[in-house]
Chains A and B, each alone.
Chain A
């Protein structure tokens, strides 16, 4: 194999430029740290912004359905649905209509925050159960 022909020396890794801050080694591996999220608001039908459609880029049913569910859990939301307009375009559209107390964008922001909190609870519960399972197994062996 030709020695270092194909691989030049690595440049000094610039943590700030890569967008990571204080990465803790004990945290679970998270290789998607760069924020490449792209979202646009499609035309709104009402003046008070209570109804709107959003287009998520590079998202699919994974985020779409989970987000739809948690936004529908919001009592101020009248309707929420998502669709993938064309299977060969990596885009996901989401429609949100509220009763008018909040804007559709606020409902979306709230939904994302709720889903984030849900993930934390699932992580905590899983880690706790794993600990319990491991200690129980150790006791059974001893």
Chain B
């Protein structure tokens, strides 16, 4: 007994009503509907899965992931935020810091600076296994990247006495992320050479301000880590999804009301179309993707029973914004690989036991 088209459509929509949501839980499980087969089928999944890219900048991706359950989409999102490994400054050795920024505050600022470098080179890096007794004992060129920051502020005697701008009065009055210099160890000079040198993604991050006579002289050790451990290791600024909004007009909305209906939505969601023969105005939905699902339309009595708002259960509009170590598309593929790796590892362990 196959379900009707209307029934299938109804199951796909999570209802958004004035004061409540409806039809929230997925029901695509075997045994839920008598006579219907919802068993896992890889080939069926391959056919039904759709991905549509909408925006593809290096650091900013937007794509639609259609045909997966929320639990899977959420796994990808969670992995993007907290389980894709990146490099960040972890240990800071302050040789000298006479600036007004305290050592621990400066160290915290340094840790949060996003780094980038040759992506092939990063594949050579391994986890640093921490040994609390001897923190530096395990460090090798395979797991630790050394950076140095050495800036001294001096007076510029060439400026006139009336000058008040510190940028002109002094040399190095500000310490920027671009002053952090990569100090390759061992084979790191092969892996990260030329344009692939490890460096801050954003050179203009202000780290500290200096006045003549003050200096910072700092050595930093960067290691691989994941966002779960510290947010500085998170490779994304945001990774989020929303469900595609759906607006269903059940009865035609015409005349004056059509105008009002269109104004209930953000620009471009709905529009008034005029019938060429009769000259009658009618509201139609053109692009529900732009809707914010504000539910404004449900506040007006004249639309009662004429319109149904909802969201499409299996249509995820993903947005991945990278901090710069990897491009957004690489990050998503890595996230999928990490979920796969989890499965493979447990699979192996269970087969062995």
Contact = CB atoms under 8 A, between A and B. Distances in A.
Contacts of A105: 350
Interface string B32-57: 00000111101001100111110010
Interface in A46-100: 56, 59-63, 65-70, 72-75
B42 A121 contact: yes
Given A9-B186, A65-B75, A118-B72, A125 B338 contact: no
B334 A28 contact: yes
B185 A125 contact: no
Contacts of A67: 343
Contact of B42 (A11, A36, A117, A133): A117
Interface stretch (B118-126, B236-244, B250-258): B118-126
A10 interface: yes
Given A10-B187, A75-B39, A1 B140 contact: no
A74 B347 contact: no
A139 interface: no
Interface residues of B, number: 78
Contacts of B170: none
A28 B334 CA distance: 6
A140 interface: no
A25 B333 CA distance: 15
A125 B330 CA distance: 14
B340 interface: yes
A119 interface: yes
A117 B343 CA distance: 10
B78 A108 contact: no
Interface in B120-140: 120, 122-123, 125-127, 136, 139-140
Contacts of A73: 28-30, 38-40
Given A65-B74, A73-B40, A130 B329 contact: yes
A142 interface: no
Interface string A103-142: 0010011001111111111110111011001100100000
A39 B345 CA distance: 10
B45 A130 contact: no
B5 interface: no
B338 A32 contact: yes
A30 interface: yes
Contacts of B42: 114, 117-118, 121
Contacts of B350: 39, 105, 108-109, 112
B349 A37 contact: yes
Interface stretch (B141-149, B281-289, B295-303, B305-313): B141-149
B334 to A, nearest CB: 6
Interface of A: 1, 4, 6-11, 13, 18, 23, 25, 28-39, 56, 59-63, 65-70, 72-75, 105, 108-109, 112-123, 125-127, 129-130, 133-134, 137
